[in-house]
Structure formats: structure tokens, C-alpha cells
Amino acid sequence: MKNEWIVIEVSLLGKYVDLAGAVLADSGAGGVVVEDRQLDTFRVPDEELALNQTYCIKAYFEAATDPAQLCLQIEESLRHLPALSEQGFSVSAPSTVEMEDWAENWKQNFSTMRIGSRLVIHPSWESYQSVADEVAIEIDPGMAFGTGTHGTTLLCLEMIAELFTKDARPMEMLDVGTGSGILALGAAALGCNRILANDIDPVACEVAKENVAKNNFCKQIEISPQPLEELPGEFDLVVANILAEENVRLKNELLQHLRPGGWLVLSGILQEKEALVRDGFSDLPLESFPTRVQDEWICLLYRRRN
């Protein structure tokens, strides 16, 4: 894994921080920080972001990326968003940072946490001893998204933990946009026999493989860089923690990988995009369930009709 990374700063109003963060993630950012606040943190800041105050978002990318082209791509993506088309924002010239310096910020915001009644997630720099029927996984996010603390990831983990309390729990799972591999690891720890986790970001795949090996789940979890449409097989559980628009774009491929009676979990969706996703999936043979909400993000649960 490369040691040097590109950092690009975007300055804009607080009301658009989450939206810009999603754009940066879609552009391949391995991590995003809002000034001194981590976007991927379970600890809610003492004060909410002021909607009309300007904030600086720092996004981190692989050093192999063309910095100038990346800046243009990010600026163009932001300008094409209706909410930002008439708003002022700026994208800085890129600079470089050492991975160790960037990754050290995670240690201030990520600590041991419990999901549901059995699953415990702890960072690599904290030890944890499981008790009773607990199952624990160790995560080192590195330069990939996914500590389980961002609203979207937390919602998915909670949904997965809940599904594994059912009598007919999922035995095979597809994890779309795996990031650090945390959702796949959580499912494996809870008893899923086979998991295919894919991510088109090679850095995420490398981090996920390291986390899978560290937790001794190499036999249960396969990490694949292939696009969703090229992946084989059907699954009892499909989880897609990606952007709202990507969920809709890939809806037919997601359905094709879902067995009749199987569960579909969609996240990475801002509350304002719920109608977009609900409408997009309305023509598919799916039973829908109530929306889950966390920190302005939502998670949708569907079940494929037999």
C-alpha cells in the first residue's frame, strides 16, 4: 500500500457538507475530514455544523491519481448538483500527506462499540476480550471508509445484526462497496457461511483483505474488484452501502443477485434522496419495510417476493 496520499480541500457552507462528502467518496476519496471533525465518527460533535457557516472538507486520495484532473472532476461534479449549482464553493490545489499522519486522526474518534446483542467492533489499537456469546471483530480502516461509526455503516451493521437473529438467517451474502470490509466481517462473525465482498477501489480491496486475514475469515469472505454486473451467483442477503443514485442505477443487477425470499439492504442514502430510491425500486418484485434513520442518513430494507 502506498505511503503518500493526495489531500484536496473543498470549502462550502455547512448545509452542503454531507452532500459534498458523498461526492468526494464517489470520486474515490479514501477518507474525509471536516476541519477537526471526522465525518466517520460515532461521537456526535458538541455542536451541529452551522448551516450558513463555511467549512473546509479535506479529502484524501491515492497519490497515483492525476491531481489536476481529480480537482477538475470534483469541481465539475459539485457544480452539476442542483443544490450547489448557484452556491459558492472552492476546490483547493492538491497537496500531499503521509498515510501515518492521516491515519493517526482515526484513533481519536474510533473506539470499541457494540452492535445489537452480540457483535462487538474494536480498532486494532484496542484489545477486547469477548464474553458469553459475543463475537468481536478487529478493524483497521487505513485509507478505506468503514469503521462502523458513520451513519450509513452503522445502520447497515444494525440491520445485518437484526437479520441474523431470525430463524432463517442469511447463509450467503453479497457486500457491494465493501470499503474496509466491516459489513462482510460483521456478517461472518454472526454466522454467515459465504460472503462475496466487492469494491471497484483497489485501495479498499487491499484494506478489506488485510482486515479479513486479521480476523481469520479468509475461508468465508472473498474480496473482488469486479464490477457488480460481472459478479456471479445469487445470495440470501445483498447489502449495498453506496450512493443513492448508484443504488438506483444498479437496481436490476442487485435484484439479479438476490434469491427469492432474500433480503436487500440499501444505504449510503441521504434522507432527502429517499423518494428517489423508493421510486427507483418501486417496479421491482420487492416487499418494503420501514425506513431506518441515523444522522441524516437512511437505510432501506426490502425482501424479494417468492
pLDDT single digits (tens) 168-192: 889 999 999 998 899 999 999 999 9
Report the pLDDT averaged over residues 261-274: 93
Domain span at residue 100?
4-105
Asked if pLDDT for residue 24 goes beyond 80, the answer is: yes
Find the CATH number of the domain harbouring 70: 3.30.70.120
DSSP three-state, residue 152: helix
Q: Which residue has the higher pLDDT, 154 or 274?
A: 274
Domain boundary among 85, 105, 125: 105
DSSP three-state, residue 243: coil
Can you tell me the distance from the alpha carbon of 264 to that of 255, in angstroms, rounded to the nearest whole number?
8
What percent of the chain is predicted at pLDDT more than 90?
41
Domain boundary among 79, 105, 131: 105
The beta strands (E) that lie in the chain are given as 4-13, 31-34, 37-38, 54-62, 90-91, 95-98, 113-115, 119-123, 135-139, 172-176, 194-198, 221-224, 235-241, 258-270, 286-288, 292-294, 297-304
Q: Which three cell numbers stand for residue 224?
A: 473482488
Mean pLDDT of the chain: 84
Q: Which residue has the higher pLDDT, 1 or 140?
A: 140
Whole-number pLDDT of residue 150: 66
What percent of the chain is predicted at pLDDT more than 70?
85
pLDDT single digits (tens) 43-97: 333 346 777 888 888 888 877 668 888 889 898 888 887 777 767 788 888 887 7
129 and 171 together in one domain: yes
Q: Which residue has the higher pLDDT, 125 or 142?
A: 125
Domain boundary among 77, 105, 133: 105
Asked if pLDDT for residue 289 goes beyond 50, the answer is: yes
**Structural domains of the chain, count:** 2
Burial of 60 (0-12, 13-18, 19+ CB in 10 A): buried
Assessment of whether the complete model's pTM goes beyond 0.75: no
Asked if pLDDT for residue 276 goes beyond 80, the answer is: yes
φ/ψ of residue 100, rounded to 5: -60, -40
10 and 100 together in one domain: yes
Four-point Cα dihedral 25, 265, 221, 63, nearest 10: 0
164 and 278 together in one domain: yes
- For helices 182-189 and 151-163, angle between their N-to-C axes, nearest 10 degrees: 20
260 and 159 together in one domain: yes
Report the pLDDT averaged over residues 124-151: 71
34 and 131 together in one domain: no
Would you place residue 100 in the very low, low, confident or very high pLDDT band (cuts 50, 70, 90)? low
Report the pLDDT averaged over residues 100-114: 63
161 and 248 together in one domain: yes
165 and 295 together in one domain: yes
Can you tell me the distance from the alpha carbon of 21 to that of 30, in angstroms, rounded to the nearest whole number?
11
Asked if pLDDT for residue 98 goes beyond 80, the answer is: no
